[in-house]
Structure 1
């Protein structure tokens, strides 16, 4: 923990891959996710006389060459930079501390951010910025020991909800904990504790995995919309299908522990197939479906990393199959790369805050 009140604090949070069980985290289900070392967001906090949220020179552009430039930028990138994310977590953090009688000193700071997580790829770029910012605030105010690790994903999610972002806890849990983690969002747990049961797993259980993503993806934000409402309305097909998705994470945990890669491959494909049945092709988008199917055409297994824009791939036949898939991706224009898993960065101080199981 930083103790020098004048020290510059900088933290990274890493992209997240939903491996199995997503999107059942929003439906009291189970998931397995891991943090991805290939991409990250970083936030820097510098003590200052005035509290300042600094815009990113590329992602928070406010100066344009012309009116058409402005309009084209909005059409491709939308209105959403990172400044709003930093402001939201500051508010949520402040209110949480006030409600829980956590005293904050009166120092001010400048917050700035950077990110190399590709936009709209289902790799949790927004929550990574918020997660990194929360880590900076914990250290600046020296309250890391007072805010439980289990609670931090909720703070991140609440900051995003402030901005109308529809999401679940899975991404934020993965980014707070880091590494490979199994999550159980059982309704009784959520109702009683306000969070799920999160269990870290050995990274060495994972076989080599790959990432396919679109360089210019379409917006995947519509993916949850109709399914969520149908679930709330008690649609039996959605409820039973989502339970099957949650069970995939439970079975997948056993398959990974037992090194049953054939079973693991089957579960990856089944996860996507169930999602496709629930959401429909129009909601998922032709480009997203093609990323899954290009892998399947060479005998690999694949599924979305999140809500679309990228897929995680397992090649049961090894590197030769991966090379073949890479060639096929290049023909279409998809990016392809091996996944690098980022181990947990939780400190001993963090671990002390965790509830004993």
Structure 2
């Protein structure tokens, strides 16, 4: 019997993951630290999964181009956007998901599917666009195979990070936690927690604790990462300067958590500025990139607190002095050629059952 269009539509799973803003503590999440991050509804990635006779990873018509009008245009595209789109991300999470299920004796039904994706998260913007695609795809796989209840919420960020590691992407768990949970999350990645539990301690918070925040980014890709950073190597070798500064960055997330609970936004602004200043001390201007630093400088020129949302490409700003300061920020960004918009925090994406399990675990 033929499947009707309505029935076919009901068989398609659509899952979404939002862009992430690191409010405090980054990049200490890569170094056993802490982080305070939230997901934003302004930008997201969506993945669709539908049953199909063969397993198919469908290329995106824009992000996975393989046909070009000419050789110069192919080269121009590679120079601006790199070699890879989202197909490799979808393939990697399929592999990691399958291996995890095998290793944990989670049986999967013998059915195939087609995966496709779309995203409006600006490329190289420090908003965690790649992991959003992986996170949304993992959510599809959990529901297609009906194993969501068998893979703990706390472990899902590890699967996403492992998929990205398959592709040589170097990152920490912060982004993936914020995208798996949605909303606002406080995270503690202390080595003791990681060794004992296999994951950090993650605490969802009320998004209404956040003050109005503003996102600043450039239409052009981030210029961070063109100069290799030695911070990781220095941290591994026990460099006193790096280890002490990274502990200060981690402490800012803990202090910021307390400030949020008290709605002390003056202190929050001070912590945000300090977070960026410590990053700058450790990594240096050549690694951070002139365009990224300019975004911070524009915000600070009007008295707004500002820091990177991630490793560069976008900045999150807080205007503790109110509307007049916001207007000055908008004007300053416009004159500098930057986009600025108030962020809309995404709600928690966890089910009631998942939230209940987290409460019981805590």
Contact kept? 1:223, 1:279, Cα under 8 Å = no
2:333 maps to which of 306, 329, 332: 329
Residue 220 of structure 1: aligned partner: 224
C-alpha displacement of 1:348: 2.1
1:181 to 174, 185, 202: 185
Per the alignment, residue 279 of structure 1 pairs with 283
Q: Secondary structure at the match of 2:154?
A: coil
2:84 to 73, 80, 85: 80
2:50 aligned residue (29, 46, 51): 46
C-alpha root-mean-square deviation of aligned residues, in Å?
1.4
Query: Aligned partners of 1:282 and 1:166: how far apart in 2?
Result: 19
1:288 to 281, 292, 295: 292
Aligned partners of 1:10 and 1:44 also within 8 Å = yes
Bigger shift: residues 345-354 or 131-140: 345-354
Q: Conserved in 2, the CA contact under 8 Å of 1:213 and 1:335?
A: yes
Which residue of 1 is the match for residue 343 of structure 2? 339
Residue 55, structure 1, aligned to residue 55, structure 2:
no
Q: CA deviation at 1:225?
A: 3.5
2:201 maps to 1:203: no
Match of 1:356 in 2: 361
> 1:110-189 counterparts in 2 under 5 A?
110-189=114-193
Instruction: Work out the CA distance in 1 between the residues paired with 2:67 and 2:300.
Output: 44
Question: Residues 224 and 256 (structure 1 numbering): CA distance in 2 closer, same or farther, change over 3 Å?
Answer: farther
Residue 222 of structure 1 and its aligned partner are, at CA, apart by 5.5
Could you list the runs of 5+ residues in structure 1 that have no partner in the other structure?
A: none
Which position in structure 2 is the counterpart of 1:269? Answer: 273
For residues 191 and 262 of structure 1, do their structure 2 counterparts lie closer, same or farther at Cα, with a shift above 3 Å needed?
A: same
Which runs of no fewer than 5 residues in structure 2 stay unpaired?
Answer: 1-7
Task: Provide TM-score, normalisation by structure 1.
Answer: 0.97
Deviations 1:87-138 (A, max 9, x none): 0000000000000000000110000000000000110000000000000000
Q: Secondary structure at the match of 1:150?
A: helix
> Is the Cα contact below 8 Å between 1:209 and 1:315 reproduced in 2?
yes
Query: How has the CA–CA distance of structure 1 residues 87 and 290 changed in structure 2, closer, same or farther, with 3 Å as cutoff?
Result: same
TM-score of the two chains, using structure 2 as the length reference: 0.95
